[in-house]
Structure 1
């Protein structure tokens, strides 16, 4: 069988997306780009099997975004049994409307028919001018058929550019997944178009699709205080009412700017327009964002801070330096370091979500710290802080710690108090230096010097009273992953190390037997590989504090992490596992009875790591000697089938059987943990059975047979001679002219006298 790699193509590279316009000579591509993610469509490996020279061209009409898919390849794999090439068309049909699979002729004819009278759906919300043209933001409801049609066409950009993004305009589980969803009235869509006349053809539509954002309305319950007493004649309202007439909490769900228009501050303009719209809407009580990434947070921070600087009351927000800090750490920390009543009124007035507002206040109060205590890398020599300045800085740290603790209280609550304080101090260090670290990016420095691409040139003046570190961070990094160059989005962001550790620890705690959960945790570890030492320490901590099942899952996850690390040539993870392999094995399968059931898990993973070259054979052999001793503990503790049958049970009936004296008791496992382990082992065994038939390279099958074959012995020689004689007899029976001498001649053997025998058909007379 041919090598699998020969027939596999990277889906990110194979899928090319383009925007096209009509010309006299045919369609002309005005922009082309590749997706950032394809695992939601083609699987976690982002590989497409069965093609050589594969190209998937997904073209869009630049204005109405009618799609067309064209799939070409130099060679296609011929199916062998159940092994067959990926049905790309069938896969994409789940993500694109039927019109995307029409003929090339129909698509080109449709694009040619679009005239300058064509306008985007929805009502004109606002417009703004930039150096490359006029941009229009249009607003409408998902109940509008034209808007729903447009969203179904472009919604594939969500999983392609937003990690973990999902669809809103379709329900794959419904009988008709493309119909308007039942909650469409709750969705508001903001469309962003560039309006620029085509220079060489005035008859064409001047509109080009740039991006869009979707907003969902939640009902916002406002409890009256004090509760109003109903009048005697009050009755329940009758009839239907519009959801848009109720107070709501609005949630920004999707935010997409196509790559050709990223890096120009267009995303910040769209966000600013959406924020101002709901700020002026009396029924909108709060504007939240659904699971924002780090880059979007940067854009949001600058936009929100810029707005808050225009609110007069916000200037009154400052650290209350009159508060005395108790020297005894066991005493309660003062709560009103910043006026809580003022903050609550401001937050409700500005309609900013509580967590986001707390971060903004933290940045604002940080900007008020004296230069002697402002967080920095310490390159410039600072003056020694006065007693009052040190006191102000200490209060600010307490204020920031309160926010970090509230944000992670579920995880921190499980940690002992001394370790909790240590973790909070570590987190606070990253909170201080996060804005400073981002300015080290060369790309950011170049953007700082280039005023022509300032993302907020129509916003109020820069926040000159912010420290330089925050100014650098927010004057540049003002876009989500959809408003930055895809290849530079990760390089210009720096996540909070404490938050990264907490999220990774949570992923490790919730691992199960599925490959998807392990690959997800491994992908997260590689995403933040700059923090590899911190994440490796998380693995060790979770191994030492988790239950038996979680330790087994983490052991399997380590293999996935090492595989990805080798694939991306980031060998630090592999080196650290090699260094701590003894500690890892002791944690997964300790000497006591609690780890005996994990001996097989450790042995299986070590064998895989040895086969892949991650761990040397000598290390595995040494560990195996230790595992053999610990494996017997499983029998002694009652964790495996008895080795000596019923001898351990004596003559007692099963209901009265008790362990023999001196036999260690099994670890205390509740029923839920036992059932969970049974299910997870069943899932793993299922994968192992599937793996039996996998042939990864040319020699894999013969290697497997060689390992399964016993050593050559006397019985094998006897059997070989018997088979040989039986074969000679069979051959002789096929032709009556054969004699033993003829057989010797046939096989080129010498007779006992040293003469060569004569072969059949060599002129011998009969």
Structure 2
């Protein structure tokens, strides 16, 4: 027993956190390789390395995953100070990290740094795939930076091969992500690049992208659904997500066949981003002005939001609640009570629909709070659910309003 414990303790020293071990770079020039400021970490690795997000078999492990900034040529290499030896650990083998990564990577990645560096000069020949939809500038710290958004499709020459590399990032930044079916031409892609100059020549660095699937809507409409949205860490918190969504929106506004726009299982962060963009747009609509929202949600709001902004009724209602909060004096107990009851009335709807939204409640409540059906919940459980959900919504709504206020200064 004692010997087994010693071996187990020794093996623990060879475990490391995959989130910390993996190091990404978007390489524009050779000097970026040694520049620690160009590195960034994954948000998650459980989709590759299990729920514990751990790698076994190495001490001081670094997993270098470098991409050329434009073409996304890929280099993968492991560095470590020590590797577990099966001869001294009862045959225990280290994890085959490269094999795990290779199962999700294009087959042409390299583990030879010289080979990777030899491809960098070809970055100057890169031209974004598809159609340029929007260009904008961001000025930060006195530096002006230019960004462009392109739309590509399955049929866009060369894009499928490019997307095969681009999509590898989603496994590290989007929970429950999966690669899309590239044989389905209803997929549309919106790719964000930074455009910069090197020796007077225009160059590109990928900054993020969005995938959209166009569903059929009877009788002759389509309903685009936003599937994946990713802004890479070096470009986050610079309003690129809002620019990407608004660019997509602007294109939809011009298309009569678009009925409305939906989103596939939005994360909390994406929901806040979507709310921010939708609230900004609805502030320009007559039916969402202060006097209107104070009177309560109505069909006119849903109709105007759908006709002019392609919003679903559900999202229009959410925008209304955010703007109603903005128009509410929360220090006035009676006024805030009316607002609270208005929101809770909507939140209470699943309890009044004989379980139509049962699955959502099942996801929201603890197992011991939910037995067989929605109707089986006690009054206390319902009230607790409503209060917690209301407070969660208010926190998100305030976040959106604070950002709205900051952008209007």
> By the TM > 0.5 criterion, same fold?
yes
SS at match of 1:114: helix
Q: Distance in 2 between matches of 1:432 and 1:271?
A: 22
1:67 aligns with 2:74: yes
- Which of structures 1 and 2 has the larger relative contact order (alpha carbons within 8 angstroms, sep 6+)? 2
Cα distance, 1:263–1:432 mapped onto 2, change above 3 Å: closer
Corresponding position of 2:192: 192
Among 299, 309, 314, which residue is 1:355 paired with? 314
Among 5, 15, 34, which residue is 2:41 paired with? 34
1:417 offset after TM fit, Å? 6.3
SS at match of 1:286: coil
Residues 219-244 of structure 1, C-alpha deviations (whole Å, 9 max, x = no match)? 1124xxxxxxxxxxxxxxxxxxxxxx
Query: What does 1:268-417 align with in structure 2 at a 5 Å threshold?
Result: 268-315=242-289, 317-320=292-295, 338-339=297-298, 341-349=299-307, 350-369=309-328, 371=329, 374=330, 382=331, 390=334, 393-406=336-349, 409-410=357-358, 411=361, 413-416=374-377
Structure 1, unaligned runs of 5 or more: 170-180, 223-245, 321-336, 375-381, 439-469, 478-766
Structure 2, unaligned runs of 5 or more: 1-6, 352-356, 362-372
1:160 offset after TM fit, Å? 0.5
Query: Contact between 1:41 and 1:91, CA under 8 Å: does it hold in 2?
Result: yes
1:430 aligns with 2:391: yes
Cα distance, 1:476–1:254 mapped onto 2, change above 3 Å: farther
SS at match of 1:310: coil
Q: Distance in 2 between matches of 1:436 and 1:345?
A: 22
Corresponding position of 2:168: 156
Query: Contact between 2:110 and 2:116, CA under 8 Å: does it hold in 1?
Result: no
Cα distance, 1:81–1:27 mapped onto 2, change above 3 Å: closer
Corresponding position of 1:182: 183
1:395 offset after TM fit, Å? 4.4
Q: Distance in 2 between matches of 1:91 and 1:428?
A: 39
Q: Distance in 1 between matches of 2:43 and 2:393?
A: 31
Corresponding position of 2:123: 114
TM-score by length of 1: 0.45
Query: Contact between 1:219 and 1:249, CA under 8 Å: does it hold in 2?
Result: yes
Corresponding position of 1:260: 234
Q: Distance in 2 between matches of 1:429 and 1:27?
A: 48
Query: Contact between 1:50 and 1:84, CA under 8 Å: does it hold in 2?
Result: yes
Query: Contact between 1:53 and 1:74, CA under 8 Å: does it hold in 2?
Result: yes
Among 97, 104, 108, which residue is 1:88 paired with? 97
Query: What does 1:139-154 align with in structure 2 at a 5 Å threshold?
Result: 139-154=151-166
Cα distance, 1:157–1:94 mapped onto 2, change above 3 Å: same
Query: Contact between 1:189 and 1:212, CA under 8 Å: does it hold in 2?
Result: yes
1:211 offset after TM fit, Å? 0.7
1:58 offset after TM fit, Å? 0.6
Q: Distance in 2 between matches of 1:276 and 1:418?
A: 45
SS at match of 1:267: helix
Query: Contact between 1:64 and 1:120, CA under 8 Å: does it hold in 2?
Result: no
Among 468, 471, 484, which residue is 2:401 paired with? 471
Query: Contact between 1:319 and 1:395, CA under 8 Å: does it hold in 2?
Result: no
Q: Distance in 1 between matches of 2:393 and 2:71?
A: 46
SS at match of 2:250: helix
Cα distance, 1:208–1:11 mapped onto 2, change above 3 Å: same
Cα distance, 1:436–1:145 mapped onto 2, change above 3 Å: closer
Q: Distance in 2 between matches of 1:129 and 1:167?
A: 31
TM-score by length of 2: 0.82
Q: Distance in 2 between matches of 1:109 and 1:138?
A: 27
Corresponding position of 1:46: 53
Corresponding position of 2:18: 11
Query: What does 1:163-178 align with in structure 2 at a 5 Å threshold?
Result: 163-168=175-180
Corresponding position of 2:150: 138
1:129 aligns with 2:100: no
1:423 offset after TM fit, Å? 3.0
Query: Contact between 1:189 and 1:215, CA under 8 Å: does it hold in 2?
Result: yes
1:164 offset after TM fit, Å? 1.8
Cα distance, 1:75–1:437 mapped onto 2, change above 3 Å: same
Cα distance, 1:7–1:418 mapped onto 2, change above 3 Å: closer
After TM superposition, which residue ranges in structure 1, 4 or more long, deviate above 4 angstroms? 25-30, 392-395, 435-438, 473-477
Residues 266-325 of structure 1, C-alpha deviations (whole Å, 9 max, x = no match)? 1111111112211222121111111112222222112101111112233373344xxxxx
SS at match of 2:209: strand
1:429 offset after TM fit, Å? 5.0
Q: Which has the larger radius of gyration?
A: 1
- Higher strand proportion: 2
Query: What does 1:436-475 align with in structure 2 at a 5 Å threshold?
Result: 471-472=401-402, 474-475=404-405
Cα distance, 1:420–1:12 mapped onto 2, change above 3 Å: closer
Q: Distance in 2 between matches of 1:35 and 1:406?
A: 39
Query: Contact between 2:84 and 2:94, CA under 8 Å: does it hold in 1?
Result: yes
Cα distance, 1:475–1:161 mapped onto 2, change above 3 Å: farther
1:422 offset after TM fit, Å? 2.2
Q: Distance in 2 between matches of 1:26 and 1:348?
A: 47
SS at match of 1:422: helix
Q: Distance in 1 between matches of 2:236 and 2:169?
A: 14
